[in-house]
Amino acid sequence: MIQQLIFTIVTLATIILSYRAYSFIVKNIKFGREYELIKDNPARWKTMILVALGQGKMFKYFLPALFHLFIYVAFIFTQIELLEILVDGFFGKHRIFALPLGGFYTFIISLIEILSVLAFIATIVFLSRRNIINVKRFHKPEMKGWPFTDANLILLGEILLITGIFLANSSDLVLQTRLPEHFHHTGQFAVSAYLAKYVFSNFSTGTLLVLERIGWWLHLTVVYGFILYLTISKHLHLIFAFPNTFFTPLTPRGKMENMPVIMNEVKSMMGLTEGGEDAMEMSEEIPEFGARDIQALKWKNILDAYTCTECGRCTDNCPANITGKELSPRKIVMMVRDRADEIGKKLRSKDEKYIREDLKTEGTKLTIENFDDGKSLFDYISDQEIFACTTCNACVEQCPVLINPLDIILQMRRYRILTDSAGPSDWMPMFTSLENSGSVWQMQEERDAWAK
Amino acid sequence: MQEELNVKTMAEFAAEGKEPDILYWVGCAGSYDARAQKVSRAFAKLLNKAGVSFAILGNEESCCGDPARRAGNEFIFQMLALQNIEVLNGYNIKKIVTACPHGYNTLKNEYPELGGNFEVIHHTQFIEQLIADGKLDVSDNKYAKSTKVTYHDSCYMGRVNGEYKAPRNILNSAKIEITEMERSGVNGFCCGAGGAQMFKEEEKGDKRVNEERANEAIGTGAKIIAANCPFCITMLEDGLKAYEKEDEIKVMDIAEILSADLDLGQ
């Protein structure tokens, strides 16, 4: 009874806390602007099934993909056992699926155990890649501090979870021979049968009863902990990879987002508009073009940012980064996420000091529309970074969860050039030449001189 | 003295009341850059050889707008693009071939939303088709047969537009074996020119992108680096100079290799 009560309290607390944490993230994503989406659902589902569910792009890096697959498949199948834990915990039962499923139950739990062993091996491999082999891309500047700890914490969490599974299963198998009334027959599980025979059978019944409960509660609490922890971790990708691949634009990769306001203005300048259309409303305020902060980015850019696994394949393949430039596509994405988090936190503080000066009147509430903390994305991302990009799309090509770092970079470039009239001075002669002569170089000769 | 190329403009076609089969979009590099002009000439020779009726826009052509847009200057992009679309639609152009992957991408993917809907073909795709149709016979290869050749994927034909095969198929048709670089196809390494980098100094770093790529090409032992983009050609040639290999290794557009093959001159 007490266990049922604790179970119910812990479960309810997890539901409430995670609802809060996840709704904050959803709000942060919605700070981004709406934009035109191609809503071809069959194509979107196909992408999601291939890339998120099927891990289609992971295998560009074969070994990490294989080990990641172990953890991923183990994770999916373990949900069956988790489901049983939830039902057992709520109704105060023990292994409620065992009797109705019979031999199939033994098979499923054995499969989970084998996958857990593979996942355990993978976890050790990943821990050593990060801490012993020191794979270069895990030690770039943006990975210092929390991102590095985060990756290790989740791996340690996985080890705890696997430990829980084997503690519960192995103790259970021995207890089945000693207290068959409560610990009813389940058949021998593939891995814990051996642990039971060679290790756990040496323990007293009292010890085993405790170990079985520790294992059971460990499994449950690590999972609940995960659910909450994901909201502050790169491991959010295990949920967000699905919506993120689903909402990935279906437009051609080489197409930059059009800016209709500018298009229409240029059209009216050139006398290309048909009657009525050219009546452009020019407001007093100079319009802002491009992205200075996350509110001007698309909401998908922010969803991208929360989906980032910090794997660094983008940076690993970025020609600018490889040749020692400051630009790291991964960092761009991480900074968008951190900035979204920061704005979300400040808004929740309801502190009036974040209201933009000119919009501050008695009783005004802080909202995303009047928010101003004197900072912007440019406090996190330098001009050197955004102007080092060659738009080669290697980052876009590499991302296993279809994040587009380039799209963020180009929107920030647009802000610098169009709104700030800043940017690399080398480009000024190019712009002048394009404006005056329609050619990227200022040339005296005729355009068809080559053919003469 | 060069032989007569006999390249006509759309205006000339229109004056004769005729329409060409295809418009050749030359682009800024192909028009003005001394190195890329050679590619334009080589491609025009191939078109003549295959008996293709084509025209250029000549002075009516403006920059496609790619460097402006990717540098972030949407105003200038829109000015150029809308101007070009006016001209192209004015001549009722349906089909365009270009030797520049950036022009290809912009015309194909970005002009439709601005009112310019054309069938856009890259010159490697067009040549591949000419060979397949029997209009261009490259099987009697004279030029690069015994030379080691590597192929550099441009980002804008490769990763951006998914075209990896056409250039390789052409070289294969000419019985040229390609020694691939380690980073090729979908993993091809940028030359460093895209995103309007061509028109500015690189940001602070350890080395230049083009030198990194040139060094990789040198590593294959190839004597010819085949390319399909005028900006890649400039970048790779500059990269070779950094290793003092510019006399030993040639960077050539696919059209130039074929033109040399067919004894049309380089």
- Residues near B163 by beta carbon (within 8 Å), at least 6 away in sequence: B122, B124, B125, B157
> Judging by DSSP bridges, how do beta strands B119-122 and B149-151 pair with one another?
unpaired
Helix (H, G, I), strand (E, B) or coil at A232: helix
| pLDDT at residue B160 tops 90 | yes
Q: Across the interface, do B110 and A255 touch by the CB < 8 Å criterion?
A: yes
ipTM over 0.90: yes
Chosen CATH of B138-261 out of 3.30.1340, 3.90.1150, 3.40.50, 3.30.70 = 3.40.50
Please indicate whether, in this complex, the C-beta atoms of B190 and A390 are within 8 angstroms of each other.
yes
Sequence-ordered list of residues with C-beta below 8 angstroms from that of A448, at least 6 positions apart, any chain? B7, B9, B26, B31, B56, B58, B59
Lowest mean pLDDT among A37-41, A141-145, A249-253: A37-41
Best mutation target among A266, A315, A327, A389 (most B Cβ atoms within 10 Å) is A266
Directed axis angle between helix A146-178 and helix A62-91, to 10°? 50
What are A247-299's pLDDT values in tens digits?
999 999 999 999 999 999 999 999 887 655 444 555 556 679 999 999 999 99
**A380 in the same domain as A233:** no
Residue pLDDT, tens place only, B184-202: 999 999 999 999 999 999 9
Nearest to B76 among A259, A391, A431 (CB): A431
Chain A environment of B40 (Cβ under 8 Å):
450-451
- Identify the residue whose tokens are 């197409």: A255
Write out pLDDT tens, residues A309-325.
999 999 999 999 999 99
Q: A452 lies in a domain?
A: no
Query: Which of A213, A246, A279 is the last residue in one of the domains?
Result: A246
Q: What is the rounded average pLDDT of the residues B28-36?
A: 96
Please choose, from the candidates A87, A109, A89, the residue with its C-alpha nearest in 3D space to the C-alpha of residue A187: A109
pLDDT of B266: 54
pLDDT value at residue A282: 53
> Where does the pLDDT of residue A246 fall: very low under 50, low under 70, confident under 90, or very high at 90 and above?
very high
Q: What is the pLDDT of residue A443?
A: 83
User: Which among A194, A218, A246 is the end of a domain?
Assistant: A246
Q: Is it the case that residue B240 has pLDDT exceeding 70?
A: yes
Q: Are residues A180 and A299 in the same domain?
A: no
Q: Which of B9, B79, B201 sits opposite A266 (nearest CB)?
A: B79
Q: What percent of chain A has pLDDT over 90?
A: 87
Number of folded domains that form chain A: 2
How does pLDDT run across A396-417, given as a tens digit for each residue? 999 999 999 999 999 999 999 9
Confidence at residue A285, expressed as pLDDT on a 0 to 100 scale: 63
Q: Is A1 on the interface with B (CB under 8 A)?
A: no
Which pairing describes strands B119-122 and B95-98: parallel, antiparallel, or unpaired?
A: parallel
CATH code for the domain of A377: 1.10.1060
Residues A182 and A316 grouped into a single domain: no
Q: Are residues A239 and A299 in the same domain?
A: no
Q: Return the pLDDT at A169.
A: 95
For residue B265, the model assigns a pLDDT of 64
Separation CA A149–CA B29 (nearest Å): 49
Do A222 and A332 fall within a single domain?
Answer: no
Q: What does DSSP assign to residue A358?
A: G
Cβ B72–A317 below 8 Å, yes or no?
Answer: no
pLDDT score of B141:
75
- Architecture label for domain B8-129: 3-Layer(aba) Sandwich (3.40)
> A387 lies in which domain range?
289-356+364-437
| Residue A328 and residue A385 share a domain | yes
Chain region(s) in chain B for CATH 3.40.50.1860: 8-129
- pLDDT at B1 > cutoff 60: no
What's the mean per-residue pLDDT of chain B? Answer: 95
For residue A430, give the DSSP letter. H
Q: Exposure pattern of A86-120 as b/e (b: 16+ CB <10 Å)?
A: eebbeeeeebebbeebeeebbebbbbbbebbbbbb
Domain boundary pick from A190, A217, A246 = A246
Task: Please give the pLDDT value at position B145.
Answer: 77
**Domain match, A100 and A183 both:** yes
- Residues A201-232 have pLDDT tens digits of 999 999 999 999 999 999 999 999 999 999 99
On whether residue A41 sits in a domain, the answer given is no
Q: What pLDDT, on a 0 to 100 scale, did the predictor assign at position A220?
A: 95
Residues A322 and A227 in one domain: no
Per 3-state DSSP, what percentage of chain A is helix, strand, and coil (rounded to 5)? Answer: 65, 0, 35
